[in-house]
């Protein structure tokens, strides 16, 4: 079932807790948690169960959604457009294995299921994830974007060498009329090996001398913000869109320092943009423009775009943001394997991760400053898992400045392998009584064909959260705001499943465990249709 086929009567829900009428779903839910305190002297643990009643409201009308990709002409951007067009027009194609049908494999929202319950015989009942509540259909996306290179998208899919030739051949006539909007290029933020590609930039300084090297202005960054805002408004008006979502899938930038008076508050950040501060990156410009237009912005690369000032700006404008860095192959597997080891009481001592790839992302990452951004996002994915077990990793034994697990990450550019990234990992762990265990993984993954479904899911779910509102209800059943509902918090931590270094609310640590991230999404969908959070107690088969 696609989103465009949804009707109110098709939603499975529990009428005890949910009402569906007039294009809205309203559900009541009691959230339970436990406050734990530990006496340092006696090690005695005290627990205090807490609960909070909520009402959620979901607008069931799916809007017409525009997608604007920063880095539209890159491997991910061109593959994303190709996937939506192939599925929309049902383009079958041949490869060496025979006739292939278009699909969205790798997308959680389009190709996975969710457990609703059991049937009369106790068998689990699963339904498609996108059949529970109305989600935008990726076939209906209206797509455009910006790129520092002017190649049309038909040429881009040929250049990227991601898709089978027969599919490229059929898609090229559909894609050649898609031409990227002019982007912005500040040479200091990405590798200099990208300079020759930068022929489609708003901030290029015109010159009549064709032999002269191209020059780029970084003297009016606020004007660049306004140009991006204008692009967003024009796209929305021209295509008659209900909403627009901006997603960064362009080159990895170097990280920026957090500087007092520059990017630490929203006021300082705006002033720093107007002052053309050297630490205002292109991604900062795109994010600020999106937030000021109240358009959701997703950062799919590892640089620290969301400095404190940008987060404050998003909070003030109640504009949705999510990041950082797509979690696709090696890092996703790492979060699962590390969790398995730690949950089994096995102690990882070191994790060595090696990658080589030959696409333009790999070329950009061959520069040390850009690699450092990626290294940071990839290394943090095991932190919450390690911190969950102080039997294996006692807090009192921790040495200041040292990580409890020796975690090494290497990325090398090798042109020959193209988009087929090779990832090799070794997990070296301590076992009982001085024993050791090595797990070695060799993973060859087609980089863009793993990342593109994540882009799709991030956009689908961001749009979903833009239609979800809530209010608190006190113990006496009194609503905090009887008429009004609040929007979800602008930092969409619910999207952590798809991101290596997920943002979260200040004061809360991010969760990287893949199973817990998925469980949160599944349970949210369950509570909205009036079902309790899922568990695997299965009393009906364990108790007599």
- Two tokens at 103? 């699909």
Q: Is 374 a catalytic residue?
A: yes
Query: Where residue 175 falls among pLDDT bands split at 50, 70, 90?
Result: very high
CB 155 within 8 A of CB 168: no
Return the HEC string of 354-376.
EEEECCHHHHHHCCHHHHHHHHH
Residue 535 pLDDT: 86
Quick check: 281 pLDDT over 90? yes
Quick check: 374 pLDDT over 70? no
Quick check: 467 pLDDT over 90? yes
* pLDDT tens digits for range 307-325: 999 999 999 999 999 988 8
CB 419 within 8 A of CB 448: yes
Q: Domain spans of the chain?
A: 330-447
* pLDDT tens digits for range 87-109: 999 999 999 999 999 999 999 99
Query: Where residue 170 falls among pLDDT bands split at 50, 70, 90?
Result: very high
CA 307 to chain CA mean position, Å:
17
| Nearest-5° Cα angle at 227, 224 to 232 | 130
Q: Indicate which residue of 147, 224, 325, 419 is catalytic.
A: 325
Q: Under CATH, which number does the domain 330-447 receive? A: 3.30.360.10
The structure tokens 């932190």 sit at: 383
Q: What are phi and psi of 486, to 5 degrees?
A: -95, 150
Q: Indicate which residue of 374, 383, 425, 447 is catalytic.
A: 374
Query: Where residue 68 falls among pLDDT bands split at 50, 70, 90?
Result: very high
Residue 289 pLDDT: 98
| % of the chain residues with pLDDT over 90 | 69
Contacts of residue 476, Cβ cutoff 8 Å, sequence gap at least 6: none
pTM of the predicted structure, to 2 decimals: 0.93
Residue 396 pLDDT: 77
Quick check: 479 pLDDT over 90? no
Q: Is 61 a catalytic residue?
A: no
- Kindly tell me the number of DSSP H helices and DSSP E strands found in the chain: 15, 21
Quick check: 3 pLDDT over 50? no
Residue 1 pLDDT: 38
Quick check: 41 pLDDT over 70? yes
User: Pick the residue with more confidence: 447 or 153?
Assistant: 153
The structure tokens 């790492």 sit at: 334
Mean pLDDT, residues 165-184:
97
DSSP 397: G
Q: Is 421 a catalytic residue?
A: yes
- Specify burial of residue 269 (Cβ count, 10 A radius: 0-12, 13-18, 19+): buried
Residue 4 pLDDT: 46
Instruction: State the sign of the Cα–Cα–Cα–Cα dihedral 304, 310, 314, 316.
Output: positive
Calpha distance 193→153 (Å, rounded): 21
Query: Where residue 352 falls among pLDDT bands split at 50, 70, 90?
Result: very high
Length of the chain counted residue by residue: 544
Calpha distance 109→137 (Å, rounded): 10
- Laid out side by side, the sheet with 65-70 consists of 181-182, 142-147, 65-70, 243-248, 297-299, 321-323
Residue 2 pLDDT: 42
- Best-predicted range by mean pLDDT (1-5, 75-79, 359-363, 473-477): 75-79
For 355, half-sphere exposure in the C-beta direction (CA atoms, 13 angstrom radius) is 27
CB 298 within 8 A of CB 320: no
Quick check: 114 pLDDT over 70? yes
| Nearest-5° Cα angle at 427, 425 to 430 | 170
Quick check: 378 pLDDT over 90? no
Calpha distance 353→427 (Å, rounded): 9
Q: Look over the chain and give the mean of its residue pLDDT values, rounded to a whole number.
A: 91
Quick check: 302 pLDDT over 80? yes
- Two tokens at 338? 């590390």
- Tell me the residue ranges of DSSP E strands in 109-211: 113-118, 124-128, 142-147, 181-182, 204-205
Residue 507 pLDDT: 83
Quick check: 176 pLDDT over 90? yes
Q: At what angle do helices 153-160 and 75-88 cross, to 10 degrees?
A: 110
| % of the chain residues with pLDDT over 70 | 96
Residue 5 pLDDT: 53
- Laid out side by side, the sheet with 420-430 consists of 406-413, 347-357, 420-430, 436-446
Contacts of residue 154, Cβ cutoff 8 Å, sequence gap at least 6: 171, 172, 173, 174, 175, 176, 178
Calpha distance 161→163 (Å, rounded): 6
Q: Is 325 a catalytic residue?
A: yes
């Amino acid at each position: 079932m696609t989103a465009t086929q949804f009707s109110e009567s098709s939603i499975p829900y529990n009428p005890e807790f949910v009402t569906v009428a007039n294009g809205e779903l309203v559900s009541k839910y009691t959230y339970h948690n436990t406050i734990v305190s530990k006496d340092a002297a006696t090690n005695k643990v005290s627990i205090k169960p807490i609960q909070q009643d909520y009402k959620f409201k979901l607008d069931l009308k799916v809007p017409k959604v525009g997608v604007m990709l920063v880095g539209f002409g890159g491997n991910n951007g061109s593959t994303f457009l190709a996937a939506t067009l192939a599925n929309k027009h049902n383009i079958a194609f041949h490869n060496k294995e025979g006739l292939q049908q278009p699909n969205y494999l790798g997308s959680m929202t389009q190709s996975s299921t969710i457990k609703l319950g059991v049937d009369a015989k106790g068998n689990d009942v699963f339904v498609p994830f996108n059949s529970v509540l109305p989600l935008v259909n990726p076939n209906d996306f209206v797509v455009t974007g910006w790129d520092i290179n002017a190649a049309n998208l038909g040429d881009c899919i040929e250049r990227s060498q991601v898709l089978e030739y027969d599919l490229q051949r059929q898609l090229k006539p559909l894609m050649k009329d898609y031409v990227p909007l002019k982007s912005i290029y500040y040479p200091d933020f990405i590798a200099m090996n990208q300079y020759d590609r930068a022929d489609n930039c708003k901030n290029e300084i015109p010159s009549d001398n064709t032999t002269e090297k191209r020059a780029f202005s970084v003297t009016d960054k606020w004007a660049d913000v306004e140009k991006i805002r204008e692009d967003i408004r024009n796209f929305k008006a021209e295509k008659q869109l209900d909403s627009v979502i901006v997603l960064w899938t362009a080159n990895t930038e170097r990280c920026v320092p957090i500087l007092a008076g520059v990017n630490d508050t929203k006021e300082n950040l705006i002033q720093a943009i107007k002052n053309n501060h050297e630490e205002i990156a292109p991604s900062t410009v795109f994010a600020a423009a999106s937030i000021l237009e109240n358009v959701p912005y997703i950062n799919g690369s590892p640089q620290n775009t969301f400095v404190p000032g940008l987060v404050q700006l998003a909070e003030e404008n109640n504009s949705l943001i999510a990041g950082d860095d797509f979690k696709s192959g090696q890092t996703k597997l790492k979060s699962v394997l590390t969790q398995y080891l730690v949950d089994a009481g096995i102690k990882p001592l070191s994790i060595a991760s090696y990658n080589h790839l030959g696409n333009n992302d790999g070329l950009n990452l061959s520069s040390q400053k850009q690699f450092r951004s990626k290294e940071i996002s990839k290394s943090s994915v095991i932190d919450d898992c390690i911190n969950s077990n102080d039997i294996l990793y006692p807090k009192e034994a921790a040495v200041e400045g040292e990580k409890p697990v020796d975690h090494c990450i290497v990325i090398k550019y090798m042109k020959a392998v193209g988009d087929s990234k090779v990832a090799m990992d070794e997990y070296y762990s301590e076992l009982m009584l001085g024993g050791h265990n090595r797990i070695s993984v060799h993973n060859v993954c087609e980089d863009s064909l793993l990342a593109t479904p994540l882009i799709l899911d991030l956009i689908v779910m961001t749009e979903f959260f833009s239609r979800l509102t809530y209010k608190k209800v006190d113990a006496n059943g009194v609503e905090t705001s009887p008429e009004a509902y609040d929007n979800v918090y602008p930092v969409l931590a619910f999207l952590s499943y798809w991101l290596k270094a997920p943002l979260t609310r200040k004061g809360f640590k991010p969760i990287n465990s893949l199973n817990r991230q998925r469980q949160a999404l599944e349970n949210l969908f369950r509570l909205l249709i009036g079902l309790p959070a899922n568990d695997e107690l299965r009393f009906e088969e364990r108790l007599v």
